[in-house]
Structure 1
């Protein structure tokens, strides 16, 4: 995957190419706080079921809180998939964005050793997978209501196409599909080398069950890896509907602890 050298220093960045995948240009927006830097940085990964979504929308509520707390943020686009089995390509794009930011850290006025990834929903899954596949890439991970056990999610969720659920039940295809889903499941990729994780999840989530984050925390704790879970009581799926600002303060305090 090739990389284009970034534009000259600027506090506000729009539509910057961080890499290419074949003919696809991978782009990001970003903004840096006031001050001299180098700043701790956060890469934001939007949700949308791996098949849709936009870097300017679902993670937008995080832009201002991060900036006001002294973090530079970079919100990325990644290759959306038409087939659920292709989500590994999006994981590669997240890793490419981190590698780009580390390579050109001086240009962006950020500290390459103080980079976190934050993802929501499918983006939380991608952020988690990128960090678990290459633990040295980032210093911390925040995952909002992220799918962590794809086998369990496929079996239980009405949001998953019936043909995929049927394939998992099939005596011939089932074991192959389960093995593939396991390879893409953060709960099955946990190791003691993983960076610290913060999980944020609402108890009334009817898209990605709250138990997905509970199980992820259990796996990480058992592996001896730092993992905290912020529970949003009565919270559904999505950042915007959550009225309480408590989770924002907890997230920012946690990021300061690990990046500042």
Structure 2
């Protein structure tokens, strides 16, 4: 079992307003960024399925407090799911490999006290946006990270990558413009083998999480990357759905994350239906 699960500390935050679930912060490692916020499901007597969200930010920035979106926690906890949003250590001080391990270790820190937290084991969904979509997808296709955390794909029901565009890292770097190229090279380096090792599309032939829901807006690179990832997952036998939503450029990229959980946003109903199906 990973060290993270054994050193988890809980620090209750400010009490929730009436009708809302209280959130607590759990440390899953010794670094200040190795923390997560956990909110219990509302209106559920027994153990509840868990959604774990991984924020974006180009692997070098972002925070659970400002990059999760305001709708997700209240919506999903109101639907009967426990919800956690995690921080992870950032590039360039840490590597993408360490970030993926942080995601797995954070999950281990939630599942170790699953009885106390009211989490249903085996009914866990990893969800991430942008760089977080890549990290969730990488953990969902390369089993080494869960293995090091003392977990396996039996602990995960599905993966929801939201508007990611680095499922095939070499292709993304080759096709990126000057605006993003430096970000990708900083995260993934110049070595072709490392880039392939960190590409979920190129890891999809390994054992994978059982189900994937790929969400993206109308960004050309995001569409191409999601299609390639879908093809690789289907070839490996994973269950896959892919859905496109309105929105272009950085505005669309930000909107799908900001609005997910809003009952009026189309992606919310798609996610709700998918969750109900795989977590039944």
TM range (shorter): 0.7 to 0.9
Alignment equivalent of 2:51, drawn from 42, 59, 74: 42
Following the alignment from structure 1 to structure 2, what is the Cα–Cα distance between the partners of residues 59 and 200?
Answer: 16
Q: Structure 1 unaligned runs (5+)?
A: 169-173
The residue number in structure 2 matching 1:237 is 253
Normalised by the size of structure 2, how large is the TM-score? 0.80
Aligned residues between the structures: 247
Post-superposition offset of 1:256:
1.1
Alignment equivalent of 1:219, drawn from 200, 208, 232: 232
Normalised by the size of structure 1, how large is the TM-score? 0.85
The residue number in structure 1 matching 2:146 is none
Post-superposition offset of 1:6:
4.6
Following the alignment from structure 2 to structure 1, what is the Cα–Cα distance between the partners of residues 90 and 275?
Answer: 28
The residue number in structure 2 matching 1:171 is none
Aligned-residue Cα RMSD (Å) equals: 2.7
Instruction: Indicate the larger mover: 91-100 or 188-197.
Output: 188-197
The residue number in structure 2 matching 1:161 is 182
Following the alignment from structure 2 to structure 1, what is the Cα–Cα distance between the partners of residues 107 and 128?
Answer: 13
Q: Structure 2 unaligned runs (5+)?
A: 16-20, 144-152
1:192, 1:225 within 8 Å by CA — same for their partners in 2? Answer: no
Alignment equivalent of 1:188, drawn from 202, 215, 218: 202
The residue number in structure 2 matching 1:125 is 134
Following the alignment from structure 2 to structure 1, what is the Cα–Cα distance between the partners of residues 108 and 54?
Answer: 15
Following the alignment from structure 2 to structure 1, what is the Cα–Cα distance between the partners of residues 224 and 72?
Answer: 24
Which consecutive aligned stretches of 4+ in structure 1 deviate over 6 angstroms post-superposition?
Answer: 241-244
The residue number in structure 2 matching 1:200 is 215
Post-superposition offset of 1:13:
2.3
Following the alignment from structure 1 to structure 2, what is the Cα–Cα distance between the partners of residues 157 and 80?
Answer: 21
2:33, 2:88 within 8 Å by CA — same for their partners in 1? Answer: no
1:98, 1:137 within 8 Å by CA — same for their partners in 2? Answer: no
SS for the counterpart of 1:160 is: helix
**47 and 89 in structure 1: CA distance in 2 versus 1, 3 angstrom threshold:** same
Deviations, residues 111-158 of structure 1 (Å, cap 9, x unaligned): 111111000000011111112223333111000011211111111112
Alignment equivalent of 2:276, drawn from 248, 256, 260: 256
Following the alignment from structure 1 to structure 2, what is the Cα–Cα distance between the partners of residues 130 and 42?
Answer: 15
Post-superposition offset of 1:15:
2.5
The residue number in structure 2 matching 1:95 is 104
SS for the counterpart of 1:237 is: helix
